Amino acid sequence: MNIKKTYRDAWNTGWTAGIVALSISALGLAELFAKRNIVSGVITMGQVMVFIVPIVMAYNFTKNLSMEQRKTGPLFGAVIGATTAIPLVLLIIASTLFNIRDIFVNVSPSLIELLTFGQENAYLGGLLLLVSMALLSYLSAYTHQLPEKIKRSLFTGLITILLVGMFSEILTERIRSIFGAIFGSSVGSAIVRFLFKSKAIQSIPAIVVFAIATYVGYRKIPKTEEEKNKSKRAFIVDGKVQWKTVIPLAVLLLILPLLLGTYLSEVTNNVGIYILMGLGLNIVVGFAGLLDLGYVAFFAIGAYTMAVLTSTGPLGLFGMSFWLALPICVIVAALAGVMLGIPVLRMRGDYLAIVTLGFGEIISRLAISDMLKPYVGGAQGILQIPKPSIGSLVFTKPEVLYYVVLAGVLLALFVSWRLRDSRLGRQWMAMREDEDVAEAMGINLMKTKILAFSIGAAFSGLAGAIFASKLTSIFPHSFNVLISINVLSLIIVGGIGSLPGVIVGAAVLIGLPELLREFAEYRLLMYGLLLIVMMLAKPEGFVPSEVHKRELHATDEDFVAEAGD
Amino acid sequence: MTRSKDFDFVGLFLWVFRAVILILIVWGTYATIADNPYETRTWVDFIIFGLAQGSMYALIAIGYTLVYGVLFMINFAHGEFFMAGILTTTVVITTPLSESGFLNEQPILSLLIIAISSMAVSIFISVLTERIAYRPLRKAPRLVPLITAIGASYFWQNYFRGLFGSGIKPIPQIEILDGTIPLDFLGTTMLKSHVLVIVTTIVMLIALNFFIMKTKTGKAIRAVAEDKDVANLMGINVDQTISITFATGAAMAGIAGVLYSLVFRQVHFFMGFIPGIKAFTAAVLGGIGSLPGAAVGGLLLGMFESVGPSLFLRGLGIPAFNQLKDVIAFTMLVMVLIFRPQGIVGEVLSEKKA
Amino acid sequence: MENILCVNNVTKRFGGLVAVNNFSVDIIENSISAVIGPNGAGKTTLFNLITGFYSTDEGSIIFEEDVPCDNRPTDQITRLGITRTYQNIRLFANMSALENILVGQEPLLHSFWAEAIWRSKRFVNEEAEALEEAQRLLNFVGLQGLGDQLSRNLPYGAQRRLEIARALASKPKLLLLDEPTAGMNPNETGEMTRFIQHLRDELGITILMIEHDMKVVMDISEQISVMDYGSKIAEGKPKEIQSNPRVIEAYLGRGAASGLETVTA
């Protein structure tokens, strides 16, 4: 093989990595996460974010090399690492020459400090950056020459330490309260002090954790494909409920808030509300193949209906209880689904997406306008929405509200699952595959589409109703098109048409950013990137629907339109 | 594709939907005219403002129409190419030009520099988007590139937000664009910036027409729009031509971004989205795929948006009717897509392939 | 013998093009009929008119002597008992073979959609019966054991049969086959020919087909209509058609190679 060409490829890969690393720096991500230590006083997440780019690129690059070229692999890795550093070094030098921050607001002195390892001299710092990137990439590429087992155990260790570091804030809190509850609060605090410092794991515990994780990784024998399939937990096999898997899961779900505590329960509730919406949109987009970008409208309708029906404030009309209002919200949202569904029925694909987007925008503009202010409160929204209650028990704490969300999610999951495996589910899928033929099979497209729209809307309405009651006040600004995009992203990442995919997608896309709160500002950047990357690399999602890994890998040639005669 | 349908429920529903909107418009217009709240001059001002706004929509709409004509996809990210133009203008006009005083010493040259740099940035990100997010998916089912386009839209929006910050940025006034010129024959005056918008739009549209109709590259674009396979056989580099199509649309959007910043003088990273959707409305209004249609559709939409709230909504007694400007635009979008997806102005250029 | 379908003076225009021009044909119950003609003669358009995919501009289409079915929605026509296959196989590519047939049974299923949520007795029984019937049909067309395969992964011949099984699933009275042997080798073609005959003889289904393979047409059809430029230029028994000078002109004069074109169409 041509070694020169490989060097050129490495050089190009390095530049790509360089642009990515430069983006991470210039967009402010690196600096933002510099505040989050991974290992206290040793390494911050900001550094990880910059350095991980050449490391991963070098790793992947060498992985794809031929066996023969892998021997020189680490050198290619070093080239990639060094090249990645070039744009960053240029940035460092530029920042000393003129005030670059006037234009790129995030190129701050502390970013430069991060990149130069605190060196006063920019050139020395730049050199240091270049050398360390080259070295780390060299090592990363070198791992391919290690025995498989060692490589795997190293990665297990590294990833564990990274995760522990990233989530050390939550771990701290959880360890303190759980150990505190068992051994008394002083013991809990002592343990925490020993393990963590300034919201990050201490060096020595870090080494211990790394060692343990590496050892575990070393001992673990990877499963073969067959074993993987065997160990896959199914709730129902051949029509029989597998109590062995169902009961532990049910118990876990029931005691979850106790393990999680207030903050994590709150996060779980938010994830749950998105799961509800995701399940609804999954019916519309995943099952029936109708891309609805105005999906937030039904969420808003559910929330506003709940608000108007139950609020004790001036805009509340009936002062109903949460439980009485809940089914009404669902029905109103479903009816709205029918109303919005009918006009768009005859549209296909992209036009449908834009029209639903238009409807969504119209509704959000109306909600905020003075025209409807006497009814929905305009920009000031509706306040004083009571939380759900049973008798004297008011569901104030997130730990309790969790059960309402859980019930909603389980119901929606159950309905989705039953409908998917039914006549209606087949109609939806047939329609998604080929509308004309589906109609020629005797399927009433109008009815089938309206059902998809309204059932999807009902789930979203349920989510909205719980949302309103959870927050106790709602404002039109909470219901913008970004919600639709969030939901769309999560079902695409999870796997379009896949029920477990919705849950995984929501946990990753909604839960994770809430845990890494700094991330909030960059959430949509990541979603946008994820949508593109998923469609390019893994259109069926991370948890593809079991039977049908289909469709998105198909090319147009499978669906050539009927050509005249 | 014709479909046989008897009188049915959906038809009835759509008929009622259309009738309600029409009745509201007629009723509102009648009540407004009977009430006669404004002088003629005010109406003329509305129309002039609408023309200026519509010119920008027209420029953005060109990009939608060109890409749709060639690839039959809605380039959802196109609004962000416009936003890139806006933000580049902001950066260039503030930091190097205004602070050094060059802006008011050499206003024409400054405007040229701003225009060129904005166009360059818009073109760059559009070509990059096409290369990475659309080209590999050209044979995928139609929803797939639409989803990546949505992704690209949010990606760029937030990328620019990260680069230039999320605050609302003011734009310094250029002295020669300050003030108004009299329009005696209409009994009103016109902002100089509006004059610049309309004149620039006309120049750009003429240049575009020349480019598409007369140059070799333009012919290649038309050939690819007609039939990619045949164009390929004729020795046209289809990929390159598609890139050029994107670049052309983005250049127009970049210019629109410059004009937008100069008129509104307050910019924000989220600004591309709504004008983008509206420009798409304009493109559909004029018959998507048709260049004159995009221009006419843009102007029509601008005028509707500017005159509409006062004409249709005021008469209905709606409080703060100007808040509902966007509702008028989106209602137009919905109505046009539902009832006349082939557009109301242009002829249907690509129905057979759509 | 009764006519199961009467197409009376039907015309369909697309813009300036007259795709079907004042065309009439009567299909006798329990017969095998064929429509032949050069490419672009309007044969598939005729199918699209019968199945309601296009609306007619003039003329009428009557099913079973008294049911007008022109300008009726496609799904209702299927429910009347007319189903079809497509020239370029249009299966639900990403659904399994069984699921394809289950979708085909749509007109026979009556359970309310929401019954699926609580699995009412009616729903469970109906689904079980449907599945059994789908399995039976799958075996009937010779695709035993392929039920769980995604239909797009099936070999070409199997796809053709699956499409027919799907069309049979709603127990139609009239089956429209659009080039059932297109792209098949002589062996497969012979098999398909026997299969079509079998359908009529065993199940009593009337068959109307578009076919380019003259051997198939002459072998099994009892009545042939010849189309050219949207009009009917001849009609009759195979023998009569073979010796009709207008037919020979339409074929040899313009499109002697039309048999080949079916492969690429």
Domain spans in chain B, listed from the N-terminal domain onward: 40-339
> Cβ–Cβ contacts within 10 Å for residue B178, how many?
10
Which of B:5-24 have CB within 8 Å of C? 5-6, 8
ipTM of the complex: 0.88
- Residue among C55, C73, C74 minimizing CB distance to B2: C55
What pLDDT does residue A560 have?
33
What pLDDT does residue A459 have?
95
Question: Which residue does chain B place closest to A558, by CA atoms?
Answer: B141
Tens-digit pLDDT profile for residues A122-172: 888 888 888 988 998 888 888 888 887 788 888 888 888 888 888 877 888
Distance from C-alpha of B48 to C-alpha of B44, rounded to nearest angstrom: 6
Coil, strand or helix: which one is A474? strand
Mean pLDDT of A329-350: 86
- Which structure tokens are listed for C184? 């098949």
Distance from CA of B122 to the nearest CA of A (A): 17
Distance from CA of C6 to the nearest CA of B (A): 19
Distance from CA of A491 to the nearest CA of C (A): 19
Q: Which of A525, A529, A531, A520 is nearest to A33 (CA)?
A: A520
Distance from C-alpha of A362 to C-alpha of B274, rounded to nearest angstrom: 12
Distance from C-alpha of A307 to C-alpha of A320, rounded to nearest angstrom: 10
What pLDDT does residue A276 have?
95
Question: pLDDT category, A333, cuts 50, 70, 90?
Answer: very high
The CATH number of the structural domain formed by B40-339 is 1.10.3470
Distance from CA of C14 to the nearest CA of B (A): 9
**Inter-residue contact A81 to A16 (CB < 8 Å):** no
> Cβ–Cβ contacts within 10 Å for residue A244, how many?
10
Q: How many CB pairs under 8 A join A and B?
A: 178
Q: Which residue type sits at A341?
A: G
Coil, strand or helix: which one is A390? strand
CA angle A468, A471, A475 (to 5 degrees): 65
Question: pLDDT category, A233, cuts 50, 70, 90?
Answer: low
What pLDDT does residue A47 have?
84
Q: Which of C86, C43, C99, C1 is nearest to C228 (CA)?
A: C43
CA distances from B318 to A376, B291, B321, C86 (A): 15, 36, 6, 55
Provide the pairing of β-strand C223-228 with C32-36: parallel
What pLDDT does residue B128 have?
92
Chain A residues inside the 8 Å CB shell of C99: 426, 429
**Inter-residue contact A91 to A26 (CB < 8 Å):** yes
Alpha-helical regions (H) of B168-290: 192-214, 216-226, 228-233, 238-264, 273-285
What pLDDT does residue A205 have?
79
Distance from C-alpha of B246 to C-alpha of B66, rounded to nearest angstrom: 8
What pLDDT does residue B253 have?
93
DSSP assigned state of A405: H
What pLDDT does residue A237 have?
63
Inform me whether the C-beta atom of residue B347 falls under 8 Å from chain A C-beta atoms: no
pLDDT at A277 over 90: yes
Terminal alpha carbon distance of chain C: 36
Chain A residues inside the 8 Å CB shell of C104: 441
What pLDDT does residue A49 have?
85
Cβ neighbors of C196 (< 8 A, separation 6 or more) are C32, C177, C180, C207, C209, C220
C108-114 long-range Cβ contacts below 8 angstroms, 24+ apart: C108/C169, C108/C170, C108/C171, C109/A423, C111/A423, C113/A419, C113/A422, C113/A423, C113/A424, C113/A451
What pLDDT does residue A195 have?
79
B5/C73 touch (CB, cutoff 8 Å), yes or no? yes
What pLDDT does residue A236 have?
64
pTM attached to this predicted model: 0.87
Tens-digit pLDDT profile for residues B45-66: 888 889 888 999 999 999 999 9
Mean pLDDT of A531-549: 75
DSSP assigned state of A388: P
Alpha-carbon dihedral of residues B209, B211, B212, B214, nearest 10 degrees? Answer: 100
Chain B residues inside the 8 Å CB shell of A557: 139
Q: Which residue type sits at B354?
A: A
Distance from C-alpha of B165 to C-alpha of A105, rounded to nearest angstrom: 6
Mean of all residue pLDDT scores within chain A? 83
Side by side, the strands of the sheet bearing C58-63 are C17-28, C3-14, C58-63, C67-68
What parts of chain B have a pLDDT lower than 50? 1-6, 346-354
CA angle A430, A432, A433 (to 5 degrees): 65
Q: Which residue type sits at A172?
A: T
Mean pLDDT of A465-480: 90
Q: Residue B200, CB half-sphere, CA atoms under 13 Å: how many?
A: 29
C93/A430 touch (CB, cutoff 8 Å), yes or no? no
pLDDT at A562 over 60: no
Q: Which of A117, A125, A133 is nearest to A93 (CA)?
A: A125
Alpha-helical regions (H) of A283-348: 296-310, 322-344
> Cβ–Cβ contacts within 10 Å for residue C262, how many?
17
Q: Which of B270, B277, B262, B285 is nearest to B201 (CA)?
A: B262
Best of A418, A441, A553 to mutate (most C CBs within 10 Å, chain C): A441
Inform me whether the C-beta atom of residue B229 falls under 8 Å from chain C C-beta atoms: no
Distance from C-alpha of B206 to C-alpha of B208, rounded to nearest angstrom: 5
Phi first, then psi, for residue A35 (nearest 5°) are -75, -20
Q: Which of A74, A121, A63, A62 is nearest to A93 (CA)?
A: A121
Inform me whether the C-beta atom of residue B3 falls under 8 Å from chain C C-beta atoms: yes
Best of C12, C44, C71 to mutate (most B CBs within 10 Å, chain B): C71
**Inter-residue contact A437 to C90 (CB < 8 Å):** yes
Strands (E), A209-264: 236-237, 240-241
Chain A residues inside the 8 Å CB shell of B139: 555-557
DSSP assigned state of B237: -
Domain spans in chain A, listed from the N-terminal domain onward: 1-145, 147-224, 260-563
Q: Which residue type sits at C98?
A: L
- Which structure tokens are listed for C104? 């085909």
What parts of chain C have a pLDDT lower than 70? 1, 252-265
In SS3 terms, chain C reads as CCEEEEEEEEEEEECCEEEEEEEEEEEECCCEEEEECCCCCCHHHHHHHHCCCCCCCEEEEEECCCEECCCCCHHHHHHHCEEECCCCCCCCCCCEHHHHHHHHCHHHCCCCCCHHHHCCHHHHHHHHHHHHHHHHHHHHCCCCCCCCCEHHHCCHHHHHHHHHHHHHCCCCCEEEEECCCCCCCHHHHHHHHHHHHHHHHHHCCEEEEECCCHHHHHHHCCEEEEEECCEEEEEECHHHHHCCHHHHHHHHHHCCCHHHHHHHC
Q: Which of A428, A434, A36, A462 is nearest to A279 (CA)?
A: A462
Helix (H) or strand (E) holding A366, with range, is helix A349-368
Provide the angle, in degrees to the nearest 10, between the axes of the packed helices A499-506 and A481-494. 120
Q: Count the helix, strand and coil residues of chain B and give each as a percent rounded to the nearest 5.
A: 75, 5, 20
Chain C residues inside the 8 Å CB shell of B2: 54-55
> Cβ–Cβ contacts within 10 Å for residue A149, how many?
14
Coil, strand or helix: which one is A451? helix
Helix (H) or strand (E) holding B183, with range, is strand B180-183
Distance from CA of B59 to the nearest CA of C (A): 33
> Cβ–Cβ contacts within 10 Å for residue B29, how many?
17
- Residue among A105, A373, A531 minimizing CB distance to B164: A105
- Partnered with residue B170 across adjacent β-strands are B266
Q: Which has more pLDDT, B17 or A301?
A: A301
Distance from CA of B1 to the nearest CA of C (A): 8
CA distances from C142 to C99, C165, C171, C176, C215 (A): 16, 10, 18, 20, 23
What pLDDT does residue A468 have?
92
Class of CATH domain A260-563: mainly alpha
- Show which subunits contact A, needing at least 3 CB pairs below 8 angstroms: B, C
Chain C residues inside the 8 Å CB shell of A564: 40, 44-45
Distance from CA of B67 to the nearest CA of C (A): 27
pLDDT at A334 over 90: yes
Alpha-carbon dihedral of residues A35, A39, A45, A47, nearest 10 degrees? Answer: 100
Q: How far is CA C169 from the centre of its chain?
A: 13
Best of B4, B7, B9, B352 to mutate (most C CBs within 10 Å, chain C): B4
What pLDDT does residue B82 have?
92
* DSSP codes of every residue in A9-55: HHHHHHHHHHHHHHHHHHTTHHHHHHTSEEETTTEEHHHHHHHHHHH
Burial of residue A392 (CB within 10 Å: 0-12, 13-18, 19+) is: exposed
Q: How many CB pairs under 8 A join B and C?
A: 20
Question: Which residue does chain C place closest to B352, by CA atoms?
Answer: C14
A535/B144 touch (CB, cutoff 8 Å), yes or no? yes
